[in-house]
């Protein structure tokens, strides 16, 4: 380290000084092609998706009218809202816990640095399939299989969590320093010992952080699973909208916002401690 500190800095050429002194760097050929492709993609998406600023401006008064009808919020049935919010939270906790454990198991097979090829590609394919299917489709499938209620919602959250977080776990484990892993392998350590003493100690803070983010997302996701009868407060929200009970609907939305905000603050505090 001392040799590096005493080594003289490399001399810059005049061209390097001019390039570093420019506030705005002129993109090269690759950069220009990238900009052209990006602009073309935005124009293509703009035209194909029907995005229209004029229609948005025309709709602003109607949005204002809709929002005015939701005020004031009606907390008359606060006990019902609290009970369903607790059910939603319980669904998210169980779904996240089981989903995270299954995701951790599958992520070992989806990590290129520790899994053999014959296991790596099938695991990645399964995760891609699970990630391609929306949680509401899982909820509909489980409602038809086990009936209405929070159990179907929990099963949907588990599969949704597996599809979304196992790949993130795997990438977190692929990003760890390979030095300790190589050192363990050179001593004849087994695959399980490499994971236990080389991979997990380094990846644990990221895994905990991602799990907390997954939990926050699952709380929000669990609120809409009730739209298809999979438990939680979504069914109450849908009923309020269908009955034009906008005051009750706004009370539900405010309660969801409070719950998500509290969970977000708690998760942020925990993430700071584990870093």
Terminal C-alpha separation, the chain: 27
Assigned token pair, 69: 């009808």
Residue-wise pLDDT for 207-264, tens only, equals: 888 888 888 888 888 878 877 777 778 888 888 888 888 888 898 889 888 888 888 8
pLDDT at 38: 93
* pLDDT at 274 > cutoff 70: no
Region of poorest pLDDT, from 35-39, 177-181, 259-263? 177-181
Transcribe 14-59 into DSSP letters: HHHHHHHH-SSPPP-HHHHHHHHHHHHHHHHHHHHHT--HHHHHHH
Domains in the chain: ranges and CATH: 78-274 (1.10.3720.10)
Residue-wise pLDDT for 120-146, tens only, equals: 888 888 888 888 888 888 888 888 888
* pLDDT at 28 > cutoff 90: no
pLDDT at 10: 62
């Amino acid at each position: 380290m001392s040799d590096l500190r005493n080594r003289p800095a490399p001399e810059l050429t005049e061209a390097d000084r001019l390039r570093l002194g420019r506030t705005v760097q002129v993109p090269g050929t690759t950069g220009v092609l990238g900009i052209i492709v990006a602009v073309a993609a935005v124009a293509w998406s703009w035209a194909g998706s029907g995005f229209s600023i004029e229609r948005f401006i025309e709709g602003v008064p109607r949005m204002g009218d809709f929002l005015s009808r939701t005020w004031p919020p009606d907390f008359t049935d606060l006990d019902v809202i609290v009970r369903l919010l607790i059910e939603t939270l319980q669904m998210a906790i169980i779904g996240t816990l089981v989903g995270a454990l299954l995701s951790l198991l599958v992520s070992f097979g989806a990590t290129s640095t520790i899994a053999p090829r014959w296991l790596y590609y099938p695991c990645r394919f399964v995760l891609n399939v699970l990630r391609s299917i929306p949680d509401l489709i899982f909820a509909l499938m489980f409602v038809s299989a086990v009936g209405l209620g929070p159990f179907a919602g929990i099963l949907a959250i588990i599969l949704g969590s597996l599809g979304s977080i196992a790949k993130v776990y795997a990438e977190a484990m692929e990003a760890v320093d390979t030095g300790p892993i190589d050192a363990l392998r050179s001593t004849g350590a087994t695959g399980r010992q490499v994971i236990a003493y080389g991979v997990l100690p380094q990846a644990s803070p990221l895994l905990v952080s991602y799990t907390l983010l997954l939990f926050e997302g699952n709380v929000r996701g669990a609120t809409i699973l009730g739209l298809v009868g999979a438990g939680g407060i979504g069914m109450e929200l849908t009923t309020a909208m269908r009955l034009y009970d906008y005051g009750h609907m706004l009370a539900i939305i405010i309660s969801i916002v409070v719950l998500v905000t509290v969970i977000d603050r708690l998760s942020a505090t925990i993430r700071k401690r584990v870093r």
